[in-house]
Amino acid sequence: MRMVTLGLIFLVFILPSGAFCAEPSGFTQQDRELLLTLKVKVEEIDKRFEQIDKRFEQIDKRFEQLDKRFEQIDKRFEQVDKRLAFIQQILVAMFGVFGGLCAVFVGLLLWDRRTFKEMAKREALRERSRIVEALRRYSEKEPRMAEILRSLGLL
């Protein structure tokens, strides 16, 4: 009976806790194949991410090139602005010179006109006095001329 009890104890305690109840601890062939396919897919994903990283780097380089071009364009605009400001200053100076020349010309014109007018007036008065003097001298010899000059108030 002792054998029977020992057999029963063996069956009750040792067998269920042993190999019959425990799951196999090692990987099966199917598990290994799954791990390999997962590893391959992860490597493919890594490659894709590397390609995406390279593309991002290329895009970054393009953006840097665009930034440089924009900086060059900004510099060019600044140069054009400076040139336009310089041209504007030249135009203002030219208009100033032109206005000054016009003012001088008008002043010279008025001065010349006044001077010419006074000189013409003096010359005309001299000429008139000479003519009147000639007519007076002629009227001394010609009585009819003297009468005409008296009627005009020149004698």
Look at residue 51 and tell me if it is in a domain: yes
Look at residue 12 and tell me if it is in a domain: no
pLDDT (0 to 100) of residue 7: 67
pLDDT (0 to 100) of residue 114: 86
Q: How much is the pTM? A: 0.44
| Structural domain range at position 88 | 31-152
Look at residue 70 and tell me if it is in a domain: yes
pLDDT (0 to 100) of residue 23: 56
Look at residue 112 and tell me if it is in a domain: yes
pLDDT (0 to 100) of residue 84: 96
**Average pLDDT along the chain, 155 residues, taken 10 residues at a time:** 67 58 71 93 96 96 96 96 96 96 93 87 91 88 87 82
Look at residue 143 and tell me if it is in a domain: yes
Look at residue 10 and tell me if it is in a domain: no
Look at residue 14 and tell me if it is in a domain: no
For 73, the token pair is 């364009």
**CA–CA separation, 123 vs 130, rounded Å?**
10
pLDDT (0 to 100) of residue 152: 85
pLDDT (0 to 100) of residue 64: 96
Q: Domain count of the chain?
A: 1
Reduce the secondary structure of the chain to three states and give it as a string: CHHHHHHHHHHHHHHHHCCCCCCCCCCCHHHHHHHHHHHHHHHHHHHHHHHHHHHHHHHHHHHHHHHHHHHHHHHHHHHHHHHHHHHHHHHHHHHHHHHHHHHHHHHHHHHHHHHHHHHHHHHHHHHHHHHHHHHHHHHHHCHHHHHHHHHHCCC
Look at residue 26 and tell me if it is in a domain: no
